Structure 1
Amino acid sequence: MIIILFLLCIKSVLLFNFNMDNVKEISVNSAYGSDTYFGYSVLLQDGTQPLIIIGAPKLSSRTGGGVFACKLNGICTNYDLVTSNGHTFTGNFLGMSMDGTGETGGPFIVCAPKKVKAEGENNLLPGHCFYKQNSSYVSPAASTVNPLYDKPTISVHNKVGYYDYGFGEAGLDVRFIDRTTVLLGAPGVKNWNGAIVVDSLSNTRTPKIIPERKAFFPEENDTYFGYTVGTATITVMGEQVAVIVGGSPRGGSLNGAVKMYDFDGNLVREFFGEEPGSYFGSSVLAVDMNNDQIDDLLVGAPMGSGSTYDEGYVYVYLSITRSYQAKLTGSRKTGARFGTLISTLGDIDLDGYQDIAISAPFEDDGIGAVYIYRGGSKGIEIVYSQRLSPSSFQGNSGNVRGFGLGISKGKDIDGNGHNDLVVGAFKSGQVFVIKTRSIIDFQLSLDTNVSSIGNGPIAIKYCIYYTQKGKVKDVRLVNFKVKLNMDYRVNGENNFEHTWVVPLERGACENLTVTIQPSMIDIQPFRITLSADVTQTEAIALGQNKIEKLIPFSHGCGDDNVCQTDISLEASSDKKLLVLGLDNTLNLDIFADNHGEPGYQCLLYLNIPVELDYRNKDKCKKNESLICPFASSLPSTANMHLKFDITHLTTDKDSILVQFEIKCLGRNLTPNKQAFVWNVVTKNSPYIEGKSEPNNLYYGNEDTSDQEITHTFTVGNFGPSPAKLVVTFLLPIVDKEANLFKVLSVKGLLNGHSISCSQKYRNNERGHRPENFLVEYVNKSVILDCSDNDSACVEISCDGGYLYRSSETATFDIKINADLKSLGSRYKSEQFKDSIIYVSSAFLNNSTTRIENYASTLIFSASKNSVPLWIYIVGALIGCLLLLLVIFLLYKVGRPNCNF
């Protein structure tokens, strides 16, 4: 037995908005070195001499770890847990997991899940635990708990061997039920399918394996069920049932899983993670956080990526329903692994609800942090109440590493009625004892001698009273900084500030008398505000630190001072019709006529659609309605001018409705809610332009091949209102017997975005050709369009939404293949026609008119105007003969004689 005496370092730290104060540090590094993992597991026991049991799984190679009993006075004693059974000890990890009762001298169990069992030439890891019936005695040696020690190590399935219980690692996690029963997590059972062992601490019954796997399930290999264990009470078929909870962080296709079994081994419920590799189920806790007598389940997923990696989450299943209701995230810090451990603190702030602690041991580059979450009537508060970090402790905390991997349950170790907490920092071998500060509840009161303001003085009395929570009433006096602020209309000083020393459960008060300046009296209520703050840190103060009292003025509206108004409303505007796209503002004048008692503090309640924006909305309050000041007093009549900017007005709106009413102090005898409507109209001027590329073609030659034509249509709108962009195109295919033209593609674009188009074949039904259409060609040309009932056409319909601005245009490129060879064969009998005009039409319907245009391609016959070859030959021969004749005549004549 080794006793270590060291200097206990007390660090005072002020923790915001919660009630943990003094921090004490415990370490055994001076005697054993820094790499002991001291603080990997902790158990806090209260009593007359509180005890902290601390695991150090890498303490030494001789024992393969260690367990210490530490007192608050700075003395730590190493438990005698060494057994001489010839097994190796290096890497046993004694102290990796621990659980027990919360009273000093009570039993506890601590495990060495990697303790080696030699079997022939094999070293196995069935798991090993020690059970101490009294934590106050470090000797004699504890009894052993190793339920898998004599189980089959290797089994054969389909002639293939697999590990049965040889690498079960029972005790990787442990849950102490009572002095007779313990739960051991054994994630290595059945090729790391995993199991939970229900074992007897009194050796009165055979260990039970849950689930009892009678078959081999290779699909569940390496799922690690039993990585963490716990218990819960759930409702099944209307009855409360105690269940065993086990985590399987690699189950559920690596998303992680949590399974619940009853103590007979029947699967009752299971939950699955939502992110692969998050290690969902590596920590679990069942606790009733909303006092509905049904446990709530918290499941950690410490390797959930978050927005970076390994930020970690904790899922909250209220009443253990199938889906989670909240997802806690701590501070969302990279690599924090928030949710590595979840521990119950009990009702640490004495508000009647259970509170919890969640660790993030790798936060802040490995320093670590612990988050405190409070329970409430609606379950857990999703925003943490406090973040515990060594950086907030006084003194040098830069060497702390792994803070939060070991967290105790909450226990009251100083007897003040508030649970305290122990947190281990395993990487630096430190344990911190964090005590709680006392909590006081305080109330403020503010009273006056009048219920309404007249011309007389006002007597004011303001008080502070507080009580202390917890068993010990040690906060006998509390310093409060008190501020009293009064309305600006008070005669004289209107702000007072004091420091009061208030005794416990007796309170303190002060009286004050003020008068109102006669010239300053108006209809606004007289406002008095009282606030108070605690100026000392010995206790946490809970309460409403600010109250306010409003005293109405006497309005001369009867004995009850309640004015009964009778207000009627009318409204007018400079416009009755709103042109979409042209009008940008609206004006509305509201007229109020009061036939009853005077109205005061009159407010205008406006219900306006999203298409309107009230210009003076910064003077209004937004609730279900826009609440704007109308008149401070309304004895008879008043009016108000409103100006709206038109925003987000869509084309499907045919009217705009504004509803309004006026409410004053008191009661209006008749409802005055009214409405004003503007009708919305559209005025637009769309147009269509068409062109062909190329403009003309030739057919009739034997070597003539297919030719591609592009008809391009441009659709625009001169405004001012948007125009619906639904365009129909008609393109002839010539006739029902031969498809001489074929539509290859249709491409529509508006502001760089494609326009959806569809096409179908149809017989022409229009029977209409544009007026003055190519008049000079009509008598000499064959016109191919969709006005001929014998022609077959392709109808293309395109919907591009709306053209909103005059600068917007939509273009449609229609590519057409012309079979020129077949075209020549089809029209060779047309003796008096020298060309074919191929016409495609486009039209859209405006609200009142039909807009239409076309694109055309001229196709000339190459054979109609050609000269036969024999004419060229004969002409050439005649020309040659004439040339020879001229030469012969000149020769016969000879050269003339010329005498000069």
Structure 2
Amino acid sequence: MYSHINTTRLSTIVNLILLIIITLLSVIQAYNLNIDKAKIFSHPHKYSHHRGSYFGFTVALYNSPNYEDQFVLVGAPRANTTQTLVVEPGTVYKCMLNSNCNEWQLDNTFGETHDAGTIIRDHSWLGASMSVENVENPRVVICAPRWKIKWKYDWYMNGICYYAEINANQSFDHSYIERIMSFTNKREQTAIDSNNNGYYKYGMGLLGFSLSTFRNGEKWNAVLGGPGAYSSYGTTVVLSHSQLGFNHVIPDFDEVSSTYLGYSMTSGKYFNINHIQFAAGAPRNTDMTGRVRVFYYDDYKYIVEAIDTLKGTQKGEYFGAALTSCDVDNDGKDEIIVGAPMWTKNGDEGSVYIFTTKNSKKFKLLLQIKGEVKDARFGTSVACLGDIDRDGYQDIAVGAPYENNYGAVYIFNGNQTGLSSSWSQRIFGNDFSHTMRGFGLSISEPRDIDGNGYLDVAIGAYLSGHAVVIKSQPVVSVDIKIYTKQMKIRNDTVSFPIRICSSFKGVRSPRSFNTSIKLKVDALHERAYIINLKREDRFYIMPSKLSRGVNTCENITILLKERNLNMIDPVEISALLTLDPELETSSVSSDNFYFDYPVINKNISKTEDNITLEFAVDCGDDNICHSNILLNFTTDLDNENHFVIGSKNTVKLFIDIQNYGESAYQTFVHILIPESIGLANNPVNCEPTRSSGIPEIICNMGNPLVNRHNLTLELVMKQARSIDNHVDLYAFVTTQSQNLNLNPTKQNLTIYFDDNVDIAVSGNAYETSYSCFNNENKQKLEIIKFQHVYQVHKFGVTPIMQSHLAISIPTHIIDDKTKKKIEIAKIHRTDISLHEFTDGQNSYCVQEKINNTYQTLNYPKINTNPNNYTLYINCTNPLIICTTISCFLETSSNALTIGNVAITMELQLRNFTGK
């Protein structure tokens, strides 16, 4: 009953809604970081009466070559240690994945001197930054940026870093190998600027506030941030390690301002894939928009040179507070990811910027991802996760440690164009514990700690003192395809076969696993169905098992329902492949070792396929029916459609439809009929309904309508009322074919109502004359009783439901001299008799006195001339008071004589006296 265009649009909308729902469901599901099997560590020496140790402020993963030892190093920069003489120096814990956490005592010294100064380790924030090299025997750098030296009365917060090497589990039983003390030269704690003003050079340097390590060929390097140097302008320290020890390179800056250069550090292959550069964040800068400066380091000549600068966009956003480098588009060159955690729309939502050098000699902005949660500070931490889903592109994690009080981490996946702007997984701190706070402040570099070929990650929640290790699940890409040999559906088709084939690919994936295929078969029109498959809501569920390297196929028969009227809209069949959520883990098979159940990479998978089968209709080679319909809408009344109310009971309505084009399928005529008239009966192919509260009848005019079809309806006119004046009828045609609209398919028709009726009233007295004297004793009578009878007649065919007869009778006269009222006549009773049968309930009379206000006429006074016995009484005389009797007479629809009204009165002769 809708046009082809409307049903196509409706089908598109329904499919779009279903697609959006399925997409939203897939987004909120976890990707391949398996939060259900996460390992949670808490600070092993947590006391309720102590302030928080910030356990989880930094995290770093390590695994031994044979996966015998897997652990996470967790920094707790405000922790007390077993060395009780030092107050909150901070420490690092080694937490075994299959055991507990133990403190790594990197520095046990107390009261040590350096260059005639005293070392102060109280509140030094050991563990504020940390790096573990990704090799079999890694170098480890752990920093304490609040480490101090006291020279007499002067205290300087230089910062320090500790260098160690891990070559066995026993390495953690020993302290550092070497201390990195780049800012401890006594003569360089302060300096004089060009204006002869003193400032702190390295005295408040905060060495190790941030760090990054990298290799250029065989040389291992580390870059350390010192944002407090040069009176908080900041600087960087580049370390090159060789057999001779560390070589320190510190760029010399003339500027003295609080830019905090070195607040964050990162390194990567930005311009040359054979050489690594590094970058340092300066989140304050002079205009408070933040900067990131990119440096080239020549590790042979030990020269540092600034080569590019990245700029923020919003004042106060803290652009450059966090940095990481990652090759998200797999072009061999790293992008720089910049966190701006105080970027604001409504309040510290945070933002992340991605810069690239692809096809450019300078960095350019590739993408900005804006946080959506107020006060979350999205971008406080950023980390490159490597290719965590093994799709060939590296991925990143972004921390929002204050989101919803718990904290959150977002995963964004790389692709050929750079980085997806939509997250693939969002992990909340309360996914693990409702006491977790600050989740996402730190995110480790990725490591494969369980040997399944997928990188894992650790995340710190520093406010509550937690560290969470999350392992990755295998990722597969799936493909599904529907095949059919049925080109078109014929009118006599009762069923047809389809074939559904699916397969999967994956790196280090299971050999086989179970899936479910959800089939939708003509969900919008429900003309087709499947037997022998379980149905849930709008889906048929088909279990399937996929095996690596095998294209698994299933044959299915689609059945068509009988008496199908809709042959224009095609039959749509879709198949959606999902992993079986009820599958037991033990049923997943692998080649050499245990695998977690895989997840689907929806970005490179084809999880859904659909086919569309059209009906074979007689509409040319394009199979699109172009009809050309003309509607004609008339009655059996005269040319102007005038109807005399009461002239007949029904009026015939003629509907004639002609099609001058191709076949018109599902052709219906809709007639809207007012409430005041109705239908004598419903034809076989018509159904009554309502449209916007108005009665409507919908009639099938052919499926298909090839050339012409007519229809006659009878309208019941008994309820037609002259007060309505007219009624409007409206008719229109709908078809599923594409109507060319060359002829009108909508039409209005107005029926006008006319009256044919008149009313006459006749009246007579019961007697023609009355005597004023008694016939027996000739005495004057005091009263005379008499009766008047009034008859109401109707002429014409138009019925009258009720008649109103008003009779005015003089009952009093006013004496012109005395002004007294004198009663002339008294109304004794009123009787109504109806000539046609009615129940009489709506027939009645009422009385009402009226005082005349007409002009005075020259009628004789009642006592002016006693010799004149003629007295004229009329209701138009102002001295006369009349009583009006109003009678309402219920009238039968076909009555010609409506009824009689008899009024009995008493003439009051005793009130008439002569002079």
Q: CA deviation at 1:544?
A: 4.1
Q: What is the identity, as a one-letter code, of the residue corresponding to 1:346?
A: G
Residue number in structure 1 paired with 2:282: 248
Q: 1:632 to 1:529 in 2, by over 3 A?
A: farther
- 1:748-787 maps to which residues of 2 (within 5 A)? none
Q: CA deviation at 1:16?
A: 1.9
Distance across 1 between alignment mates of 2:97 and 2:123: 30
Are 2:60 and 1:43 aligned?
A: yes
Residue number in structure 2 paired with 1:69: 94
Are 2:94 and 1:79 aligned?
A: no
- 1:524-543 maps to which residues of 2 (within 5 A)? 524-536=569-581, 538-541=597-600, 542=602, 543=605
Residue number in structure 2 paired with 1:207: 248
How many residues are aligned here? Answer: 574
Residue number in structure 2 paired with 1:149: 184
Q: 1:398 to 1:512 in 2, by over 3 A?
A: closer
Q: 1:569 to 1:494 in 2, by over 3 A?
A: farther
Q: CA deviation at 1:83?
A: 5.2
Residue number in structure 2 paired with 1:231: 267
Distance across 2 between alignment mates of 1:377 and 1:665: 44
Contact 1:416 1:471 in 2 (8 A): yes
Distance across 2 between alignment mates of 1:514 and 1:156: 88
Q: 1:523 to 1:426 in 2, by over 3 A?
A: closer
Q: CA deviation at 1:424?
A: 0.9
Contact 2:366 2:418 in 1 (8 A): no
Distance across 1 between alignment mates of 2:450 and 2:416: 29
Q: CA deviation at 1:184?
A: 0.6
Q: 1:155 to 1:15 in 2, by over 3 A?
A: same
- 1:16-27 maps to which residues of 2 (within 5 A)? 16-21=29-34, 22-27=37-42
Structure 1 residue corresponding to 2:153, chosen from 109, 121, 130: 121
Are 2:112 and 1:53 aligned?
A: no
Q: CA deviation at 1:532?
A: 3.9
Contact 1:567 1:593 in 2 (8 A): yes
Distance across 2 between alignment mates of 1:566 and 1:369: 57
Contact 1:441 1:468 in 2 (8 A): yes
Structure 2 residue corresponding to 1:159, chosen from 193, 196, 220: 196
Distance across 1 between alignment mates of 2:240 and 2:703: 80
After superposition, what is the alpha-carbon deviation per residue over 1:700-735, rounded to whole angstroms, capped at 9, x for unaligned? xxxxxxxxxxxxxxxxxxxxxxxxxxxxxxxxxxxx
Structure 2 residue corresponding to 1:189, chosen from 223, 229, 235: 229
Q: 1:564 to 1:225 in 2, by over 3 A?
A: closer
Distance across 2 between alignment mates of 1:344 and 1:92: 28
Q: What is the identity, as a one-letter code, of the residue corresponding to 1:513?
A: T
Q: CA deviation at 1:593?
A: 10
* SS of aligned partner of 1:138: helix
Residue number in structure 2 paired with 1:173: 210
Percent identity over the alignment? 26
* SS of aligned partner of 1:552: strand
Are 2:585 and 1:553 aligned?
A: no
Structure 2 residue corresponding to 1:373, chosen from 380, 396, 412: 412
Under a length normalisation based on structure 2, what TM-score does the superposition of the two structures give? 0.56
Contact 2:213 2:267 in 1 (8 A): no
Distance across 2 between alignment mates of 1:427 and 1:135: 32
Q: 1:159 to 1:544 in 2, by over 3 A?
A: closer
Q: 1:499 to 1:515 in 2, by over 3 A?
A: closer
Structure 2 residue corresponding to 1:502, chosen from 545, 553, 571: 545
Distance across 2 between alignment mates of 1:124 and 1:90: 13
Distance across 2 between alignment mates of 1:333 and 1:373: 20
Q: CA deviation at 1:29?
A: 3.1
Q: What is the identity, as a one-letter code, of the residue corresponding to 2:43?
A: V
Contact 2:206 2:226 in 1 (8 A): yes
Residue number in structure 2 paired with 1:29: 44
* SS of aligned partner of 2:404: helix
Are 2:242 and 1:222 aligned?
A: no
Distance across 2 between alignment mates of 1:491 and 1:555: 22
Q: CA deviation at 1:90?
A: 0.6
Residue number in structure 1 paired with 2:391: 351
Distance across 1 between alignment mates of 2:140 and 2:270: 26
Residue number in structure 2 paired with 1:339: 379
- 1:82-97 maps to which residues of 2 (within 5 A)? 82=107, 84=109, 85-86=112-113, 87-97=119-129
Q: What is the identity, as a one-letter code, of the residue corresponding to 1:25?
A: I
Q: CA deviation at 1:72?
A: 0.6
Contact 1:184 1:196 in 2 (8 A): yes
After superposition, what is the alpha-carbon deviation per residue over 1:355-393, rounded to whole angstroms, capped at 9, x for unaligned? 11111122223x222121222223222222222112223
Residue number in structure 1 paired with 2:310: 271
Q: CA deviation at 1:444?
A: 2.6
* SS of aligned partner of 1:265: strand
Distance across 2 between alignment mates of 1:637 and 1:93: 92
Are 2:355 and 1:317 aligned?
A: yes
Distance across 2 between alignment mates of 1:155 and 1:113: 21
Q: CA deviation at 1:242?
A: 4.0
- 1:361-510 maps to which residues of 2 (within 5 A)? 361-365=401-405, 367-393=406-432, 397-454=433-490, 455-456=492-493, 458-463=495-500, 465-467=502-504, 469-473=506-510, 476-480=512-516, 482-486=518-522, 488-490=526-528, 497=535, 498=541, 500-505=543-548, 506=550, 509-510=553-554
- 1:705-784 maps to which residues of 2 (within 5 A)? none
Distance across 2 between alignment mates of 1:189 and 1:519: 86
Q: What is the identity, as a one-letter code, of the residue corresponding to 1:148?
A: F
Ranges in structure 2 where 5+ consecutive residues have no aligned partner: 1-26, 114-118, 298-302, 536-540, 583-596, 631-656, 668-701, 710-735, 743-915
Distance across 1 between alignment mates of 2:393 and 2:629: 53
Contact 1:483 1:495 in 2 (8 A): no
Q: CA deviation at 1:563?
A: 5.2
Q: What is the identity, as a one-letter code, of the residue corresponding to 1:147?
A: S
Distance across 2 between alignment mates of 1:601 and 1:441: 44
Q: What is the identity, as a one-letter code, of the residue corresponding to 1:234?
A: Y
Contact 1:34 1:428 in 2 (8 A): no
Contact 2:576 2:609 in 1 (8 A): yes
Contact 2:323 2:336 in 1 (8 A): yes
Question: Is the radius of gyration larger for structure 1 or structure 2?
Answer: 2
Distance across 2 between alignment mates of 1:34 and 1:414: 35
Q: CA deviation at 1:129?
A: 0.8
Q: CA deviation at 1:307?
A: 0.6
Distance across 2 between alignment mates of 1:509 and 1:535: 17
After superposition, what is the alpha-carbon deviation per residue over 1:596-655, rounded to whole angstroms, capped at 9, x for unaligned? x879999xxxxxxxxxxxxxxxxxxxxxxxxxxxx99897899xxxxxxxxxxxxxxxxx
Distance across 1 between alignment mates of 2:356 and 2:573: 43
- 1:837-856 maps to which residues of 2 (within 5 A)? none
* Cα RMSD after superposing both structures: 4.1
Q: CA deviation at 1:673?
A: 13
Contact 1:457 1:513 in 2 (8 A): no
Residue number in structure 1 paired with 2:326: 287
Ranges in structure 1 where 5+ consecutive residues have no aligned partner: 1-13, 571-590, 603-630, 639-663, 675-900
Distance across 2 between alignment mates of 1:83 and 1:593: 99
Q: CA deviation at 1:290?
A: 2.1
Residue number in structure 1 paired with 2:805: none
Q: What is the identity, as a one-letter code, of the residue corresponding to 1:224?
A: Y
* SS of aligned partner of 1:177: strand
